[in-house]
Amino acid sequence: MAHPDRFLLTGVMGWPVMHSRSPLLHNYWFRRHDLAGTYVPLAIPPEGLAAALRALHPLGFAGCNLTIPHKQQAMTIVDEVDTVARSIGAISCVVVRPDGSLAGGNNDCYGFIHNLRQAQPGWRADAGPAVVLGAGGGSRAVCYGLLQEGAREIRLVNRTFARAQGIASDFGGPIKALPWAQRHDALDGAAMVVNATSQGMVGQPALDIRLDKLPKSALAADIIYIPLETPFLAAARKSGNRTVNGLGMLLHQGRPAWKAWFGIDVEVTPELRALMEKSIPAHEG
């Protein structure tokens, strides 16, 4: 449990970082648990990442989250990388140990799976084929989570086919890489489709995919949360599919971080979700 006579410090390192909703999320939990502490955005350029991470201990930080572009580089800086982060190939959370050493983990897959479970309690990874669009860090977390949950078939589609093949080779099992030209047909018979690309995010073009072959019973998920409903999710909803946006992924990945930093179990409440949704302006979502 957190020490009562110490001001608790955590934050998120990124470049840029001021757009992050993480401070709003974590500072809600500080208030909710009546703790003296804060979570701050830390704008750290890539060349300053090693020095910034090493400064966490002398400054009294319990740890930090990492966002773009630091998730891969941090793996070469921290003292220990856990199995999940090593498998995904990225670190999303750093814990400062009492001796000053840094432990790296990845909570993105936890966030993705628990978002699905909360939004769709009846969801099962083995219900049928899952289609994952994209082959970046978010896609690796999604695929890892689905595999851990027992997915029997994952159709991984990406513009650069070699990157999809790379994930299929790294993870093995039921992942089949498909070229981008097959994205529309890949939806045939799918139980779930996940957009793990940046397409549909504010300032980005919409995801270019036809949903005519996606069964009405399939779940459509997006890891994007700005806007709350991407054009992809809007089209899926209009087709009669259940949809899940990416906000809950952000919320739930914070829970194991708090357990690691402070030994506290935090909850994703309706009040928290409403607070976060309200923070996303109308023009963004």
The pLDDT tens digits of the residues spanning 213-248 come to 999 999 999 999 999 999 999 999 999 999 999 999
Domain shared by 210 and 116, yes or no: yes
Q: Give the range of the structural domain holding residue 124, as residue numbers without chain letter.
A: 109-245
Domain shared by 154 and 172, yes or no: yes
Q: Is the pLDDT of residue 283 over 90?
A: no
Backbone φ, ψ for residue 157 (5° rounding): -115, 135
Domain shared by 268 and 223, yes or no: no
pTM: 0.94
C-alpha of 231 from chain center? 19
Sign of CA dihedral 135, 195, 198, 254: negative
The confidence score (pLDDT) of residue 199 equals: 95
Domain shared by 189 and 80, yes or no: no
- The structural domain count of the chain equals 2
Domain shared by 236 and 255, yes or no: no
- CB within 8 A of 84, min separation 6: which ones? 105, 106, 109, 144
Q: Are 222 and 230 in contact (CB under 8 A)?
A: yes
Domain shared by 127 and 192, yes or no: yes
Domain shared by 204 and 94, yes or no: no
Domain shared by 240 and 255, yes or no: no
CATH of the domain at 40: 3.40.50.10860
Sheet containing strand 8-14, edge to edge, reads 37-43, 8-14, 61-66, 93-96, 102-105, 80-81
Domain shared by 222 and 142, yes or no: yes
Any catalytic annotation for residue 71?
yes
The pLDDT tens digits of the residues spanning 123-155 come to 999 999 999 999 998 999 999 999 999 999 999
- Whether residue 155 lies inside any domain: the answer is yes
Tell me the mean pLDDT in the region 91-112: 97
**In whole numbers, what is the pLDDT of the chain averaged over residues?**
95
CATH of the domain at 178: 3.40.50.720
The confidence score (pLDDT) of residue 206 equals: 97
